Structures are given as structure tokens and as C-alpha cells.
Chain A
Amino acid sequence: METITFKGIGTYWSVSIDESVDDVVELKKTLFEFVADFESRFSRFISSSEVNQFRKRERGTYPLSAECALLFSAAHELRTLTHGAFDPAVAGLLEGVGYDATYRLTPDESAITSFVPTAWSLSRDQLAIDGPVGFDFGGIGKGYCIDRVHELLKEKGYHYFIVEAGGDMVATTKADGSGWRVAIEYPGKPDIALGLVELVNQGLAVSDSFRRRFGAWHHIVDPRTKAPVTQIIGVAAIAPTAWQADKMTSGLFLGQPAEYALLAEKFSSAYLVVTHDGMVQKSINWKGELF
């Protein structure tokens, strides 16, 4: 078992490969550079990134790279499914609540109350914006990037591995055909597991509302109400890919409970929703053990 760890897109990555790796140092360099390249193109924390160019653009239509169009297309699907609760045009609001590159701790109330998400639409690879806008691919970008690393490893000829970034992951199987055993953290209780799953050619995403919290605000904000989501404290999703699982967890946080089944269908997911009263709602197709 070879394990490679590195930092990328603001989180820790760990990739375990259950077969021999000829040149671990070389592979680590390849993976690190791949993720760094993704970050340079899509992070809102990097001023030269493709998504940041729209902060200074006037109302109009602009061409996107194929990969950027793919991310916007997914964002649009999720925006539709959550009736606007998910919107990548939320970067300005996130900065208003203190979730910016410098991690200010005090929410700027005036930025919150004055925030109106800029309208945008996508037609093939053409992005139309109503005015200058900051985009944030949090909620879908990490899962996508994890899947790309998974593909890269496949291209390199590996079969048995798990790719994990900041608690989200995708796995094939181990060399003996068994799954990768993953404990799911209880939201807000880092030393407690709420369940155990075995990943076999599946992605897993977990999201909670405790991380990077600023007073009453946290990183999941509904742009319609400009308020953080409070009822749900954590969600988890298992899907064929990390990207689908990532989109599912965002949908669970921001969508209507009555539409969870529809979301699960769209993203081929099984899911858990943990509410503030400590109850866990699970989809009927959730296979893992709960404690």
C-alpha cells in the first residue's frame, strides 16, 4: 500500500494505492501539479483564475473553457434543482460573511444586507452575466477535482486506490476486491463516527455546518434569505462518483426535504441527513451501518 499526501485547493489530499508504485516521488509530483493547475483555474481565492475574470467584466456574454463550462453547467443544474438556493454567484456574499481569503472573523453586516446575486446563464460554452460577479464553485468543485485525479490514476494504469481530499473521496476497490472502509464523522463531533460504509467503485461526500463558522454565520448560505442554513447540521452522500456525491450533499443542504428523493435520483445517490435534534434521516438505499 502506497500513500501519497499533499496540499491542494485549500485542503489535504491523501491517495492510497493498493498495488506497487514504481516512482512514488514522481507520482506525488504529478498529482500535486494536477491539483494545483485545477486550483489556479477555478479557485476564487486566486485572482487570475478563470472564474475570477468575471469580477471585472461588464454585462455581456463571454466564452468559457470546456471544463469551466462543464462546472457552470453542473452549477446550473443544482441551482435549478434547489430553486436558486444553490448559486455559484454567491462569492460576494461569502466574503460579506467573512469567508474570504484572509478569513476575517467579523461578518460585515452591510455587505450581507446589500447583496443581490448577479444573474447569469449558460448557453453551451457561452456565459452571459448581468454585470460584474464573483463565482464560487464550493459545493461542486472539490468532488469534480477528486474525480479528475481518479481518472488520472486510471490513465497511469492503476486499478486499486482511494482518492481523498478533506473528507470527501472516491475509491475503486482494494487489490483483493474488497471495499475501502470509511467511517463517517458525526457532524460537529470529530472523534465520533455516526456510521461505517464500504466504498466499492463509489464516491462519498460529507458536509457539515460547523466548519469555518463565524458567529451565527457559516459557509453554507442561502442567497435568497441571506441567512445560513441552520436546521441541518450535516449530510453525507454516496454515489457512483465523488462529483455526484458532492453535488448531492450541496443539494441536501440547500434543497427542500420533499425533494430529497428527486435529488437522489438525479445524482444516483444514497444519503444521510443529520438534523439539529440529533436525528438521522437516511435514504432507503443507504447500505452502510449506523451506530
Chain B
Amino acid sequence: MSNSLKITLIVGLFALGIGGGYYALSKNIAPAGTATETTTTETPLMQETPVSVTPPITSAPHETTNPHVPDITPVTPTTTAPTSSPIIAVPAQSKTTHIIVSYDEPSGGSRVGFTLAVDGQGVITDAQTDVLAVEDEAIKRQERFAKGFSVAVKGKKLSELTNIDRVGGASLTTEAFNSALTKLKAQL
């Protein structure tokens, strides 16, 4: 990620909009009582959202407004979502994006942040949850969510990787590969 653009994006959101977005992210562990699918987005995130582009990322993120929550959905693609279409319209460059969203908890409003790494095709390749809740129960839920959420991984050809010492894996091919690798290195 060293040469990637860093985008800081804080999206203040209406509680209603959040429901849908957070639900999409937290299919497995949704905060109780908040996960209702509601609004959907009409426009790609990048087209109308004022964003601050700051390579490298600096201190306090800027506040903007954008209720287009479902842009976050590729983190946990549902079975209905077309996997091939880019969800976030971005130039052909990888980025790290920070998003903070607000949502309703039974005990009141809460906020949660997500740090997403997005590749040139707009596919989210990595994601982390930033726990921002202040109330104990909400913190617990966000931490649990942070521990358990998934990212889409496409993989990369082993042949494209350089300076590999070993391959960790369980297949017989791994054994063969490591054997070949160590023999080749011995010849260098």
C-alpha cells in the first residue's frame, strides 16, 4: 500500500440509511435492533462526494455528507449481489478509505468506523473495523464484529510474487514447490 492514494472520507449519515449499510456489513453479527434494510444508493460514491485526498493520510478526517451506505456492501457480498460489477467508482489505483457511520442502538445512537482497502477495480481487498462506540455494550458488539468479519480475497499467482522463502499450504503441490524453491535457491 505504500504508493497508494489515501483517501479520508467521513460520511455523516442518517440513522435510517445506516441500517441498510450496516446490515450489509454485519450479516453475521448485527447490533441488536438496528439491522433493517432501508435505502439504496442511486449514485456511485465517488461521483458526488467531496472527498479530501491526502497522500499520505494525515490527522483528523474531514466531515462530508453522504447517505449512500450500500457502497460498503462488497465487504460481505450477499448471494444476490453481482460480484463482477465494481461497487465503488474509483480510478484504477488502490486506495485506503476510512468511513465512519452512525447507527441506532437500543440505548441510543452509536458510531463505528471502517477502514477499507480498495483496488483499481473498486473491489474491497481488505477491511478493518474501528471501534468508536462509547457505551460498553456497543463497544462489545463492535469488537465482536471486528473480530469476525470477512474480506473478499482474489489471490495472486505465486509466480508473480518475488523473494518468497517458502509457501505455507497443505497441498502436495506446496511440498513440491517448496522443494523446488529450496533447490533453486541452493543453486544461486
Interface string of A250-285 (1 = CB under 8 A from B): 000000010011000000000000110011111110
C-beta contact mask, B138-173 vs A, less than 8 Å → 1, else 0? 000000101111111111111101011111111111
By beta carbon, the residue of chain A nearest B28 is A257
A181 and B165 within 8 A (CB): yes
**In the assembly, what is the distance between CA of A5 and CA of B41, in Å?**
57
How far, in angstroms, from A193 to B172 measured CA to CA in the complex? 15
Bound CA–CA A184/B157 (angstroms):
11
Residues of chain B within 8 A (CB-CB) of A204 are 168
Residue in B163, B174, B175, B183 with the greatest tally of chain A CB atoms within 10 Å: B174
Report whether B169 and A208 are in contact in the complex, using a CB–CB cutoff of 8 Å: yes
How many of chain B's residues have a CB under 8 angstroms from any CB in A?
42
CB distance A183 to B168 under 8 Å?
yes
Indicate which residue in B148, B164, B175 contacts A281 across the interface (CB closer than 8 Å).
B148
A133 interface residue (CB < 8 Å to B): no
The smallest beta-carbon distance between B79 and chain A, in angstroms, is 8
Chain B residues near A215 (CB-CB < 8 A)? none
In the assembled complex, the Cα of A182 lies from the Cα of B163 at a distance in Å of: 9
Interface string of B50-68 (1 = CB under 8 A from A): 0000000000000000000
Q: Chain B nearest CB: distance from A65 CB in Å?
A: 29
Task: List B contacts of A181 (CB < 8 A).
Answer: 163-166
B134 to chain A, nearest CB (A): 20
Looking at the complex, which of A26-34, A71-79, A106-114, A162-170 is the stretch in contact with chain B?
Answer: A162-170
Q: Is the CB of A185 within 8 A of B128?
A: no
Chain B interface residues toward A at CB < 8 A: 76-77, 125-126, 128-129, 144, 146-159, 161, 163-175, 177-179, 182-183, 185-186
Binding site for B on A (CB under 8 A): 1-3, 5, 11-12, 14, 16, 162, 164, 166-169, 180-197, 204-208, 210-211, 234, 236, 257, 260-261, 274-275, 278-284, 290-291
